[in-house]
Structure 1
Amino acid sequence: MTQSSFSSLLFADTQLPEQVAAVMAAIETDIIRSRILPRTRLIEDHLMEDYAAKRHVVRAALAELQRLGVVVKPPHLGAQLRRFDRQGLEDLYHMRRVLHHAAIEMIEFPVPPERLAAVEAACQAHAQAAASGELIAIHRTNMAFHRELYGLCDNPYLAESIRLHDWLSFPVRAYGVADAQALEQACDEHQAMVQAVRAGNRAALDALSVAHMGRARSLYEEKFLSR
């Protein structure tokens, strides 16, 4: 999958320049690989050297990641990867549960065959990415699966809120991408979600939606909040 197709996959409302999308993907990959940790300063000169990119490209990538909530700029400290404390993490995941529950309540069953097929295709794309081991593809196809699944609510404002909270939680969820056990569990849960949609089982889908958030959050808590 090319960087331009990644850009169109995740940024349907904004077609990012290919060079900006490439730097964003490189930063995301380094977050997933734990090369960039929460509160790590993102210094333009270093990023330019690491990613062989011009300053305006790096700035544009950081600005987009800041818009999505992945990067923050505390006063006098410069850009850095967002870090959550325990209360912030609880607040974020409470909001994600509220949004997902609302979307699932709005899905009309049975889901039309062509829309079910789109969810199934997104699930399969993520499974293929997981098998490939390509970290950025795993992350992006996971986001795409969530977009197709929760998009079944047919409320564009709710679906967009879920997409934005997926990005807000990326500094947390990133640690599940490179963890083999967490990734296997995510693939299994995606399949179970598809089966619940196919069966029109709202209660099962709602329970899976909540459980699906748990593994990556636990990894984050173990790394950064257990000390």
Structure 2
Amino acid sequence: MTRHSSKRDLGVFPHAELPVAVAAVIEAIEMDIIRGHILPSTRLIEDHLMEDYDAKRHVVRAALVELQRLGVVVKPPHLGARIRRFDAQSLEALYHFRAVLHRAAVESIALPVPGERLHAVRAAADAHALAASSGDLIAIHRANMAFHRLFFGLCDNPYIEESIRLHDWLSFPARAYAITDQTALSTACAEHAQMVEALEQRDRLRLLDLALGHMLQARRIYEGKYLSR
């Protein structure tokens, strides 16, 4: 099977290009997580996934391997593949580390940002806002991650960039539910625009506040759904 990625996946997945069939199953699983059809700790049974997504077993297995590599799927001993679920302690630890990474990235951004790179970040913010208005959930998810990749990539530290990218994926099972929340989505679009504005104004303190606060709404939604019961 020819290995290539769809155009809207380019620069978003932190992994090598995948066969189209495998990428399609991954996208289908992502969509079902976003929609709440697959919940945290849900067991992912190969036979069910093959039927649900009309995919061959080796394709489903490859998709699960990739999602496990990204941290979206976990495989506890003797329990099979499951969607990652965060308890209060692990969620706190994850968001603490994401805050450390985001702070390090923003503090490393050289201001002023060159015009061409600033334009690319602004275009990514606009693309996310356009996706948000379209209602295409996967497009919203991809555009959001693409914005983060370009924004935090301004730090020009490949180790920080890669760590942020990987933890964006690791946190996906917690962040996913904000994608269908219209208030959270509108806030995210507004914050992206404010981050671009702060870059233009060379306001590092505001950038720090925005980058750290940007994560909190999705976290609160997850806590409300799964940690307040």
After TM superposition, list the pairs within 5 Å mapping 1:144-223 onto structure 2.
Answer: 144-223=146-225
Partner of 2:16: 14
In structure 1, what is the Cα distance between the partners aligned to 2:165 and 2:13?
10
In the alignment, is the contact (CA less than 8 A) between 1:4 and 1:18 conserved in 2?
yes
Provide Cα deviations, 1:92-150, integer angstroms capped at 9, x if missing partner: 00000000000000000000000001101111110111000000110011000000000
Aligned-partner Cα distance in 1 for 2:162–2:142: 16
Amino acid at match of 1:124: D
Q: Which segments of 5 or more consecutive residues in structure 2 lack a partner in the other structure?
A: none
1:178-203 CA distance string (max 9 Å, x none): 11110001000000001011111110
Equivalent runs, 1:1-227 vs 2, <5 Å: 4-11=6-13, 13-227=15-229
Determine helix, strand or coil for the equivalent of 1:9: coil
Tell whether the 8 Å contact from 1:104 to 1:206 is kept in structure 2 after alignment.
yes
The separation in 2 between residues aligned to 1:13 and 1:221, in whole angstroms, is: 29
Superposition RMSD in Å: 1.2
Matched letter for residue 216 of structure 1: A
Q: Which runs of 5+ in 1 are unaligned?
A: none
- CA distance in 1 between counterparts of 2:115 and 2:24 reads 35
CA distance in 2, matches of 1:3, 1:134: 19
- 1:24-44: CA deviation from partner (whole Å, max 9, x where unpaired): 110000000000000000001
Q: Which runs of 4+ in 1 moved over 3 A?
A: none
Identical residues among aligned pairs (%): 65
Q: Is the 8 A contact 1:7 1:15 kept in 2?
A: no
For these two proteins, the number of residue pairs brought into alignment is 226
How much has 1:10 moved relative to structure 2?
A: 1.6
Counterparts of 2:15 and 2:222, CA distance in 1: 30
Q: Distance in 2 between matches of 1:17 and 1:65?
A: 14
Question: TM-score, length-normalised on structure 2?
Answer: 0.96
Q: CA deviation at 1:12?
A: 5.7
SS at match of 1:153: coil
C-alpha distance in 2, partners of 1:221/1:134?
25
Q: Is the 8 A contact 1:7 1:16 kept in 2?
A: no
Distance 2:56 2:96 in 1: 39
Could you tell me which amino acid in structure 1 is paired with residue 94 of structure 2?
L
